[in-house]
Structure 1
Amino acid sequence: MTKGTSAETVRSSITRRHVLMGAAALTTAATLTTRVAAQTYPSQNILLVVPFTPGGSTDILARLLGQRLEAALKNPVIVESRPGAGGSVGVGSVARAVADGHTLVMGHIGTFAVNPALYPKLQYDPMKSFEPVSGIANVHNMLVVHPDVPAKTLQELVDYAKQNPGKLNYASGGIGSAAHIAMVALADRAGISMTHVPYRGTAPAVTDLLGGRVQLTFTGAPNLLQHVEAGTMRALAVSGLSRLKGAPTVPTVAESGYPGFEASQWYGILVPAGTPKTVVDRLNTEIRAAMAAPEIAERLSLEGAEVWTNTPDEFRSHIATEMVRWGDLVKRTGIKPE
């Protein structure tokens, strides 16, 4: 011990060195773990959770992407439906899953932008519970009516609703679903009032519309185009800023007297927070490559959707913006959960 140096100072110096060495060891271990995770990923079946009932746009897109990812990753991708509470049950289950990239969730405007304002005790935090991977598609909502409704244009529907308050019932896949929020946005803009009939998923809502038990819906075009083509539903408008390739004669809401109106659905893949960045980047690369295939873009276009991919940071920013936009509508119009 040198002169002027106390035993306490020496012990403190040794302790600091041990702490620094320990921290360095932990950092090295974490780096090695991340590298191993990237090199061995995937090491088991991948579960892709759809937080809604089978048959809707979310399910259709999940199965389409799942097939592509399975081929790219050379590993089984299992698509599983976990509906409930406007999609919150399924999304919440993924938030609690192991953060290793083997459990994915199909994110959606309803579960990540609407539910935070709708449910005060949500099982997850859209911004903190997940690592965004990439968007995959935008889906135009299509406003359709049962043939018995005496309206052939959106403006005729608005006029009919004003002349017959309370007579029109519209279906959706549930409170806070994309179909519900789109119709609320349109009714708010047009100044009309209709009765909301929520279902447990899009498929049963469409079934009851076909049977005439409800009069209209404003949901994803992929669920409706076949019925419009068959004449069992009448399409009045689409929610995007451009017309659909699969239904070029159907005008947009913006063209029908409501400039700037847009209420399309967006979808994307997310994983639990803490998933290694290398795994997130690998998934992002494979998803963007899968969705870039010309045949995918053509198929989605004909079904009323468009490919929409981005970086994890871009997807995160989009979610944050949408939470503000649709959260404001939920609060202003007083939408309440069941």
Structure 2
Amino acid sequence: MTRSRFAIGATRVAIAAVLASLASPLLAQAWPDKPIRVVVPYPPGGNVDSAGRIIGAKLQEIFKQPFLVDNKPGAGGMIAAEAVAKAKPDGYTLFLGANGPILFSPLIYKKNSYDWKKDFLPISSVSFTPVVLQVNNAVPFKTVGELIAAAKKPGSNLTMASPGAGTQNHLASEYLQHKTGAHWITVHYKGNAPATTDLLGGQVQFNFDQLSVALPFIQQGKTRALAVGSAKRLPQLPNVPTLQESGFPDLTVETFTGLLAPTGTPPEIVQKLSDALRQILADKDVQAKFATLGAEARGSTPEQFKQYLTNEDKRWTPLIKQANITAE
């Protein structure tokens, strides 16, 4: 009798294991049969939100289900990221993140709420927006070298406007100081808008800003671009050198957006989404929409996006620790 019960128990365990192994493919085949939530870590109207709405409309066309943008701002994007990390990994909750919320916020805010390497599966990159180093027009510098040289002089009181601690804009500033031995005063603002206002008003001398924000002021002659953070010169600013041309051959500075899913999401769903996004982001009309945001639409495989995140993590995390950058 004991052996018989043991055999029955073992059979039940084996059946359960088989059913579990079949569950993921079956779920992936049925997906999606209801709306999908795309959680964005910023308020409506910004670049990440706009990216979510562009790709959401196109994903809806492909998968015949609504892709609903859910804005959850706060704590450097951690509120949104943590919500997705804890969500059921069934393909119905996705995270459209950027540099800070994905890679740096847990370190900067000193909270171990999630770890992108453990809690998320990269699906695809979506867009890349280069950063521009620009100065107020009253400032005489015409090159990055002139700015650095002035910042090295004793008694230099140059000030740089940052939209917040740990942003890509701030990290670019810290990188240049670390590499050159230059020093300037960093003034942190709550976002790009007040930082730009003070740059235009002359309260600060320069900043690093996304092309989408900086370009109108450069074109109007209100600020002067010294360098761009892209790997190649930008068609919008063909006469402005890159940071690499300006003496920093290993430096690119760009903000990215990318789509991720909670760890445990069936790989078949991740692959379907990645394939769809690469198709969408190769479309010329979609690329034109991103270009109006000052961004380049560019998809990737899950493996390529994971490698990109790994490289960015290795580049910037040691600098955050060395410079003791925190949100406090």
**TM-score w.r.t. length of structure 1:** 0.86
Q: Which stretch of structure 1 is more off in the superposition, 200-209 or 259-268?
A: 200-209
Question: Aligned equivalents of 1:199 and 1:48: distance in 2?
Answer: 28
1:131 equivalenced with 2:121 (yes/no):
yes
CA pair 319-258 structure 1, distance change in 2 beyond 3 A: closer
What corresponds to 2:256 in structure 1?
Answer: 266
Residue-pair matches, total: 328
Question: Aligned equivalents of 2:185 and 2:83: distance in 1?
Answer: 32
What corresponds to 1:39 in structure 2?
Answer: 30
CA pair 310-149 structure 1, distance change in 2 beyond 3 A: same
Structure 1 residue 294 displacement after superposition:
2.0
* Kept in 2: contact 1:228–1:235 (CA 8 A): yes
Which residues of structure 1 form unaligned runs of 5+? 1-6
Which residues of structure 2 form unaligned runs of 5+? none
CA pair 48-231 structure 1, distance change in 2 beyond 3 A: farther
CA pair 71-194 structure 1, distance change in 2 beyond 3 A: farther
Q: Which stretch of structure 1 is more off in the superposition, 16-25 or 238-247?
A: 16-25
| Partner-residue secondary structure (3-state), 1:58 | helix
Question: Aligned equivalents of 1:312 and 1:113: distance in 2?
Answer: 16
What corresponds to 1:3 in structure 2?
Answer: none
What corresponds to 1:88 in structure 2?
Answer: 78
Query: Which has the greater radius of gyration?
Result: 1
What corresponds to 2:169 in structure 1?
Answer: 179
CA pair 23-326 structure 1, distance change in 2 beyond 3 A: farther
* Kept in 2: contact 1:151–1:157 (CA 8 A): yes
What corresponds to 2:317 in structure 1?
Answer: 327
Percent identity of paired positions between Structure 1 and Structure 2: 35
Question: Aligned equivalents of 2:156 and 2:78: distance in 1?
Answer: 30
| Partner-residue secondary structure (3-state), 2:114 | coil
Structure 1 residue 47 displacement after superposition:
2.5
* Kept in 1: contact 2:31–2:91 (CA 8 A): no
**TM-score w.r.t. length of structure 2:** 0.88
Structure 1 residue 251 displacement after superposition:
0.7
Question: Aligned equivalents of 1:259 and 1:329: distance in 2?
Answer: 17
Amino acid at match of 1:238: V
Question: Aligned equivalents of 2:62 and 2:71: distance in 1?
Answer: 22
* Kept in 1: contact 2:89–2:264 (CA 8 A): yes
| Partner-residue secondary structure (3-state), 1:254 | coil
Report 1:58-77 matches (<5 A).
Answer: 58-77=48-67
| Partner-residue secondary structure (3-state), 1:180 | helix
1:310 equivalenced with 2:300 (yes/no):
yes
| Partner-residue secondary structure (3-state), 2:124 | strand
Query: 1:273-298 deviations in whole A, cap 9, x for unaligned?
Result: 22222221221122111101123335
Give the CA RMSD over aligned residues: 2.6
